[in-house]
């Protein structure tokens, strides 16, 4: 038994490490994920859904496969060539024989390097094309979601899906899958070469495979869960940053920097713990594989060395030195791909976890879709009718209750009422940002559900209280990347709404840089740009939602002048708290708790002395008192 003591020691080491690995698995298996996932998908479903993106590039992948086989030949043939060189050196050799073998070895190496280079180039180009298509489809799908759906998804989460997660999937095509396939080829090829060279030693090495399979199966069962946790923690941080960097001015105004920092540190700590668990999982697996590699080398050296020292054979066959050298290299070639497979499997789980997140977004069916027989509208007159419309954002909590009214073409209709009465909701429903639960909304006598959404919205121009300007220039924000407009048309629209008065004073005019959200312009200037943008696109129906709420008196005069001009363009729907801005409307509709209480012209409603009269009197008295205070101060 003494002569087998090294093998017994190796077996004991493997047994101890196996126990440790299984114990670690049990500990990790008991840990519950700290977050919920969008949806767990089997690997087969993920691959099936990714295949359409790779299908157009099957020719490129076939070329890569050929170059991969060429490069793999080096891994299989190099140990045999080195063993042959050892045999030539051991025997009486001629320099010419040695030179030929070294030249063949070098040639195979050069061909392998060239194949690897072109393989990498083709893969990177193909991967970027796949990534671009995936991102484009994802962004297009996000654009198709309704306002209600987008309100439910944090912006940071969507940004993470379009950037981080798509990058992880790109790595799957450009690196992981192809290299995993190559490593499988190497393992199979090396195993075949070893069997041909010496099947007894090969069987000895294969004794370590069951342990390797055991470690791999256990490792696979929980790596996906770890990567899901990492993805969720990363999304959580990105969402937090997106929200708080946008609102950092409020944080500074209220001196809440320390509180926000503590919240961020808490989320960062969560990500750190998830990353630590990821490293722990992989930190256990790879040493296990390396331990098996070292153990097989020790067994090979022991058995071959024992045969030389005691002049005995292994299983009835003498092991030559060239066989020992070749097998030593083959063991490295055999276990190195397995170790690399472990790392690539690690990355593959990360890519699959990202794919789950991305396809969870794809699986969100848009709430608003065109009917199969929906029509296009080239032009509308601007007639709008609500027939007994009921609507709720939350089931059972009605925001509008049986609302009915009629707007004639080119009329100006104003909606007034207290906060939460349903004014803004009506404007959103007309553009079909949401679908109603009961009733009908008609445009020129046609139910808006029978009109294609893009066609419907093309005829509306919206000017909101909170004007959103994109990073770029004044010109790009007015034309919205529609390059068909000429400078003269742009300036004409600006002059029409009095926006030219401040644009003329800027150094770069229409090419003045607009920073994020237009924060280098005042609220009034942003509103005038919004008006110019709307006028330029020539809508038949214009919607103004509190467009004059947060501007100074001088700018309000300019905007009022613009509004008077815009009334001649088409139908105008206005929501305003300042009743002075809607006195000349053709019809004023007063809402309360989702119900129309009064409607008529300004004078008609004053004569009724109802709710509108009280509201107007209250605002008029407040304005008078404000004016008296101003005069007294002066």
Tell me the CATH number at 429: 3.40.50.300
What pLDDT sits at residue 346?
A: 67
Each residue's pLDDT tens digit, 541-560: 988 887 665 566 666 676 67
For 52-93, the pLDDT digits (tens) are 888 888 888 888 888 888 888 887 888 777 777 777 776 666
Q: Is the pLDDT of residue 278 over 60?
A: yes
Residue 34 has pLDDT above 60, yes or no: no
597 falls in which pLDDT band (50, 70, 90)? Answer: very high
Q: Do 280 and 135 fall into the same domain? A: yes
369 in any annotated domain = no
445 and 301 both lie in a single domain: no
Same-domain pairing of 513 and 468: yes
The answer as to whether 614 is a domain residue is no
In which band, very low, low, confident or very high, does the pLDDT at 626 lie, cut at 50, 70 and 90?
low
Q: What angle do CA 246, 358, 64 make, to 5 degrees?
A: 125
Domain membership of residue 625 (yes or no) is no
Q: How many domains does the chain have?
A: 2
Residues 457 and 514 both lie in one domain? yes
The band of 147, judged by pLDDT with boundaries at 50, 70 and 90, is confident
Between CA 371 and CA 500 the distance in angstroms is 42
97 lies in the same domain as 237:
yes
Structure tokens at 603: 């004078």
Q: At residue 410, does pLDDT exceed 80?
A: yes
On the question of pLDDT at 302 being above 50, the answer is yes
More confident residue, 352 or 564: 352
pLDDT, average across residues 116-129: 86
In a domain, 626, yes or no: no
The predicted structure's pLDDT at residue 32: 43
* Together in a domain, 392 and 288: no
Residues 262 and 315 placed together within one structural domain of the fold: yes
- Report pLDDT digits (tens) over 480-530: 877 788 888 899 888 888 888 888 888 888 888 888 777 888 878 888 888
Q: pLDDT tens, 412-457?
A: 999 998 888 889 899 989 989 899 999 999 999 999 999 998 889 8
Tell me: pLDDT of 403 over 70.
yes
Question: For position 316, what pLDDT does the model report?
Answer: 46
pTM of the model: 0.68
Q: Looking at the structure, do residues 352 and 407 belong to the same domain, yes or no?
A: no
Residue 312 has pLDDT above 50, yes or no: no
- Per-residue b or e along 128-155, where b marks 16 or more CB atoms closer than 10 Å to that residue's CB: ebbbeebbeebeebbeebbeeeeeeebe
Distance CA 156, CA 163 (A): 10
Domain that holds residue 55: 2-31+40-362
* Statement to judge: residues 56 and 149 lie in one domain: yes
Q: What is the pLDDT of residue 45?
A: 84
pLDDT per residue as tens digits for the range 383-397: 999 999 999 988 888
The CB-based long-range contact list for 547-554 (8 Å cut-off, 24+ gap) reads: 547/463, 547/464, 547/465, 547/574, 547/576, 548/576, 548/578, 548/581, 549/465, 549/576, 549/577, 549/578, 550/465, 550/523, 551/523, 551/524, 551/527, 552/524, 554/524
Residues 6+ apart with CB under 8 A from 455: 374, 375, 376, 377
Lowest mean pLDDT, pick from 79-88, 158-167, 220-229, 312-321: 312-321
Average confidence (pLDDT) over 320-326 = 72
* b/e per residue 331-356 (b: at least 16 CB within 10 A): bbbbbbbbbbbbebbbbbbbbbbbbb
Note whether 205 and 296 are within 8 A (CB).
yes
* 269-291 average pLDDT score: 80
> pLDDT confidence of 3, banded at 50, 70, 90?
very low
pLDDT at 47 over 80: yes
Could you tell me which residue, 398 or 519, shows the higher pLDDT? 398
As separate numbers, helices (DSSP H) first and strands (DSSP E) second, the chain gives 22, 12
Please indicate, yes or no, whether residues 357 and 399 belong to a single structural domain of this protein.
no
Residue 622 lies in a domain: no
- Reported as a single tens digit per residue, the pLDDT across 468-484 is 888 888 888 888 877 78
- What pLDDT does residue 443 have? 93
Q: Is residue 630 part of a domain?
A: no
Identify the pLDDT of residue 392.
92
| Tokens found for residue 26 | 């049990």
3-state SS, 459-505, equals CEEEEECCCCCCCEEHHHHHHCCCCCCCHHHHHHHHHHCCCHHHHCC
619: in domain: no
Q: Is the pLDDT of residue 2 over 50?
A: no
pLDDT exceeds 90 at position 1: no
Domain annotation covers residue 377: no
Q: At 358, which CATH number? A: 1.20.1560.10
pLDDT for the residue numbered 632: 66
Mean pLDDT, residues 39-47 taken together: 76
For residues 456 and 567, membership in a common domain is answered with yes
Mean pLDDT over each residue of the chain, to the nearest integer: 80
Which of 331, 362, 393 terminates a domain? The answer is 362
> Is the model's pLDDT at 310 over the cut of 90?
no
Question: CA–CA distance from 486 to each of 477, 490, 493 (Å)?
Answer: 14, 6, 11
Same domain, 259 and 403: no
């Amino acid at each position: 038994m003494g002569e087998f003591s090294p093998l017994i020691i190796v077996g004991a080491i493997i047994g101890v490490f196996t126990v440790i690995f299984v114990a670690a698995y049990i500990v990790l298996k008991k840990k519950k994920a700290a977050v919920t996932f969008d949806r767990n998908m089997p690997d087969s479903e993920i691959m099936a859904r990714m295949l359409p993106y790779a299908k157009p590039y099957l020719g490129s992948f076939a070329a890569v496969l050929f170059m991969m086989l060429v490069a793999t030949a080096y891994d299989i043939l190099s140990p045999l060539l080195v063993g042959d060189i050892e045999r030539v050196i051991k025997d009486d050799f001629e320099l010419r024989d040695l030179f030929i073998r070294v030249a063949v070895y070098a040639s195979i190496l050069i061909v392998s390097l060239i194949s690897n280079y072109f393989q990498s180039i083709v893969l990177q180009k193909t991967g970027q094309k796949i990534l671009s298509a995936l991102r484009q489809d994802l962004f297009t799908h996000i654009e198709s979601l309704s306002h209600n759906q987008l309100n439910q998804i944090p912006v940071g989460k969507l940004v993470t899906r379009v950037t981080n997660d798509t990058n992880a999937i790109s790595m799957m095509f450009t690196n992981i899958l192809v290299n995993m396939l190559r490593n499988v080829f190497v393992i199979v090829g090396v195993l075949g070469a070893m069997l041909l060279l010496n099947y007894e030693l090969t069987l000895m090495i294969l004794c370590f495979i069951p342990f390797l399979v055991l470690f791999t199966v256990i490792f696979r069962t929980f790596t996906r869960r770890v990567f899901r946790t990492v993805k969720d923690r990363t999304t959580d941080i990105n969402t937090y940053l997106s929200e708080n960097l946008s609102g950092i001015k409020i944080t500074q105004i209220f001196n809440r920097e320390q509180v926000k920092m503590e919240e961020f540190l808490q989320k960062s700590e969560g990500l750190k713990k998830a990353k630590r668990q990821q490293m722990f999982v992989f930190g256990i697996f790879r040493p296990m594989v390396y331990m098996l590699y070292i153990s097989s080398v020790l067994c090979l050296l022991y058995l071959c060395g024992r045969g030389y020292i005691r002049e005995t054979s292994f299983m009835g066959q003498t092991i030559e030195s060239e066989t020992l050298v070749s097998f030593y290299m083959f063991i490295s070639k055999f276990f190195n791909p397995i170790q690399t497979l472990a790392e690539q499997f690690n990355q593959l789980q990360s890519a699959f976890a990202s794919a789950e997140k991305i396809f969870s977004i794809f699986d969100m069916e848009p709430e608003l879709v065109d009917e199969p027989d929906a029509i296009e509208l080239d032009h509308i007159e601007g007639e709008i009718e609500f027939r007994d419309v009921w609507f709720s954002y939350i089931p059972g909590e009605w925001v509008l209750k049986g609302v009915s009214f009629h707007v004639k073409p080119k009329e100006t209709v104003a909606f007034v009422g207290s906060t939460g009465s349903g004014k803004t909701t009506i404007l959103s429903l007309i553009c079909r940002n949401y679908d109603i639960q009961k009733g009908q909304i008609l445009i020129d006598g046609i139910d808006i559900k029978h009109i294609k959404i893009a066609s419907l919205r093309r005829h509306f121009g919206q000017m909101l209280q909170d004007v959103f300007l994109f990073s770029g220039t004044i010109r790009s924000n007015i034309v919205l990347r529609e390059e068909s407009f000429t400078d003269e048309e742009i300036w004409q629209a600006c002059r029409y709404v009095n926006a030219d008065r401040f644009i003329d004073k800027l150094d770069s005019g229409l090419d003045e840089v607009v920073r994020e959200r237009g924060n280098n312009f005042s609220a009034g200037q942003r509103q005038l740009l919004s008006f110019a943008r709307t006028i330029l696109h020539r809508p038949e129906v214009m919607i103004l939602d509190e467009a004059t709420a947060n501007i100074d008196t001088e700018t309000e005069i300019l905007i009022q002048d613009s509004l008077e001009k815009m009334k001649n363009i088409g139908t105008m729907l206005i929501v305003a708290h300042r009743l002075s801005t809607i006195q000349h409307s053709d019809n004023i509709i007063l809402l309360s708790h989702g119900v129309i209480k009064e409607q008529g012209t300004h004078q008609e409603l004053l004569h009724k002395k109802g709710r509108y009269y009280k509201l107007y009197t209250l605002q008029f008295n407040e304005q008078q008192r404000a004016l008296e205070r101003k005069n007294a101060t002066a």
